Structures are given as structure tokens and as C-alpha cells.
Structure 1
Amino acid sequence: MNRRTIQGKYEIFLQKYNEGVKKYIPIYRVKKSIHTWYNAR
């Protein structure tokens, strides 16, 4: 890591960051439910 350029270090950082995000942050999807009482009237 000592002989890499700044850009190379940044790319390694982003790779490790994205791996951590994919591994430890859960994906939450919002369920859309349209209620009959919630309308324009």
C-alpha cells in the first residue's frame, strides 16, 4: 500500500467500503399499500 498512488489507495478504500456496506447494512424495501380510504375525495 505504501507505493501506490493516491488514486490507487482511493480505489482500494472504495472497494473495501462497498464490501462493508453490502455485508453489514441491511436492505429495507418500503411496501406500498394503497388504502381505499386514502384517495382524492
Structure 2
Amino acid sequence: MNGKTVLGKYELFLQKYNKGVRKYVPIYRAKKSIQARYSGKYIEAKRKKR
């Protein structure tokens, strides 16, 4: 019965859609600014120096 009614077809569509989205759409990750990366490397180098 999971496909014979409009609601069943919609549920089936949502399952396939969500599976495809999880598989093929990359997760957006905010990039760190150059200043943040530089500061992080600077702090790490300073720790190693000590």
C-alpha cells in the first residue's frame, strides 16, 4: 500500500529525495578568514617554540 495512494507516493518520493540529497549534495562549511588561520598558526608556532 506504500505507493498506491497519493500520500504513499509522496512518502516514497520524500525518501528517495532525501537519500539523494544526503548522497550527492555537499555539506557547506564556512571558511575561516585568512586572519583567523594566520592567528591560529601563529599561536601554534609560539606554543611549539616554548
Please, what TM-score do these two structures have when normalized by structure 2?
Answer: 0.54
Q: Which runs of 4+ in 1 moved over 3 A?
A: none
Identify the residue that residue 38 of structure 1 maps to in structure 2.
none
Identify the residue that residue 8 of structure 1 maps to in structure 2.
8
RMSD in angstroms over aligned alpha carbons? 2.0
Q: CA deviation at 1:32?
A: 5.2
Aligned length: 33
Please, what TM-score do these two structures have when normalized by structure 1?
Answer: 0.64
| Higher RCO by CA contacts (8 Å cutoff, separation 6 or greater) | 1
Unaligned runs of 5+ in 1: 36-41
Larger Rg over CA atoms: 2
Q: Among the aligned pairs, what percent are the same residue?
A: 70
